[in-house]
Amino acid sequence: RRRTGAVAVHANYKPNAVQLFSPSKINLFLRVVRRREDGYHDLASLFHVIDLGDYMEFETMPYALQDTLECSDPTIPTDESNLVIKALNLYRRKTLQTMYFKVKLTKRVPHGAGLGGGSGNAATTLFAANKLMGGIASNEDLLQWSGEIGSDISVFFSNTGAAYCTGRGEVVEDVSPPVPLDTPMLLVKPPVGLATPKIFKSLDLARRSAADPRGLLDAIAAARGVDQAAAVNDLEQPAFDNLPELAALKERLIESGQFRSVFMTGSGSTIVCFGSDAVPAFLKEEPQYKDLFISPARLITRKPNGWYEHSGLW
Ligand code: C5P
């Protein structure tokens, strides 16, 4: 196209507003290392950001005395218990800014899913607030601060979108993406969600895997993919105890023979089918599976100095 020197300005362009994709994550493996004095658990987990996500709009409200959050899902609270509001409070506290924001959140990521949808919203909110306030905090600041309001928010500030996470999950070590980003995957989640605290509480430490987490990381990087033997998630046992249908669903997905590996992400209840995004026939044919959430997904990385973008149409 010929350059005219004129700058095209979108009709809805607002210098005090920003629209962003808010991604979610999966755990390619998750080992629980120990139960801590403070009630949390030390983990060793390979996280990867994925392109299933929500849509968020932010606007500064120079004369407002509080934030407003509108959410497309009426079952999600929009008060201070929402991580979006917690993220805005955190940002103001850390930067001594007094700005309030209007946030519109259009949800696509299911909750109680082990996909970190709410954590992704919190990370996206910190990034957006900082962008609208002129970028006064660094990416490293946002990563560090985010650990104060949740364990799996920091990972979204990883430079690669792939991170080996330890501590509660908030200690982030970037790794170069161990698996090709275009690896197809299918996410399958029963209508019942699982509450993270309950799953951690019902974990029987004696029934954990003995696999060395660094060994799992090396195996996945060497194989350029997740084989079933490396797809370890110590939270599957308590999740399956709470929801026996989930164990049966995982077995059926393995038996379909369509996937390189099948494993639960986070504290569930989403099952990741790795290596193909074709929906197995039994899920389409059997009425007991008619209410499942089913979505293809891809791994994504963050743009340097920017934010995540969905890899396809949405
Ligand atoms: O940190 P976050 O608020 O996401 O954690 C939710 C709950 O999950 C915690 O209150 C805790 O019960 C459990 N949890 C844990 N160990 C972790 C992360 C979360 O026990 N590493």
- Predicted confidence at residue 9, as pLDDT, reads 58
DSSP for 169-195 reads TTEEEE---SS-TT--EEEEE-S----
Using the atom order of ligand 1, give the atom closest to the CA of residue 153: 4
CATH classification number, 17-174, choose in 3.30.230.10, 3.20.20.70, 3.40.250.10, 3.80.10.10: 3.30.230.10
Domain locations in the chain? 17-174, 185-297
Q: Which of 3-7, 25-29, 214-218, 263-267 has the lowest mean pLDDT?
A: 3-7
Q: Is residue 110 within 8 Å of 147, Cβ to Cβ?
A: no
pLDDT given at position 15? 79
Please state the ipTM of this predicted complex: 0.96
For ligand 1, whether the C-beta of 41 sits within 6 Å is yes
H-helix segments, 100-243: 117-132, 139-146, 196-201, 213-223, 236-242
Main-chain dihedrals φ then ψ at residue 313, nearest 5 degrees:
-90, 145
Q: Is the CB of 150 under 6 A from ligand 1?
A: yes
Relative to beta strand 68-71, strand 100-106 is parallel
Tokens of 296: 């293809």
The identity of residue 132, as a single letter, is L
DSSP reduced 3-state for 309:
coil
Q: What phi-psi label fits residue 102: left (phi over 0), alpha (psi between -120 and 50 degrees) or beta?
A: beta
**146 C-alpha to center of ligand 1: Å?**
14
CB-CB contact of 34 with 71 (8 Å)? no
What is the CATH number assigned to the segment(s) 185-297? 3.30.70.890
CB of 112 within 6 A of ligand 1: the answer is no
Strand pairing category for 41-61 and 17-35:
antiparallel
227 confidence band (pLDDT: 50, 70, 90): very high
**Tens of pLDDT, residues 162-204:** 999 999 999 999 999 999 999 999 999 999 999 999 999 999 9
Q: How far is the CA of 265 from the centre of ligand 1 (A)?
A: 15
Ligand 1, atom 18: nearest CA belongs to which residue? 168
Q: How far is the CA of 80 from the centre of ligand 1 (A)?
A: 18
- Say yes or no to pLDDT of 234 above 60: yes
pTM score over 0.90:
yes
**What is the C-alpha R_g of the chain?**
20
Name the residue type at position 103. Answer: V
Q: Which residues contact 214 (CB under 8 A, 6 or more apart)?
A: 44
Confidence of residue 313 (pLDDT cuts 50, 70, 90): very low
| Cβ–Cβ under 8 Å, residues 268 and 240 | no
Atom of ligand 1 nearest to the CA of 43: 21
Which atom of ligand 1 is closest in space to residue 41's alpha carbon? 16
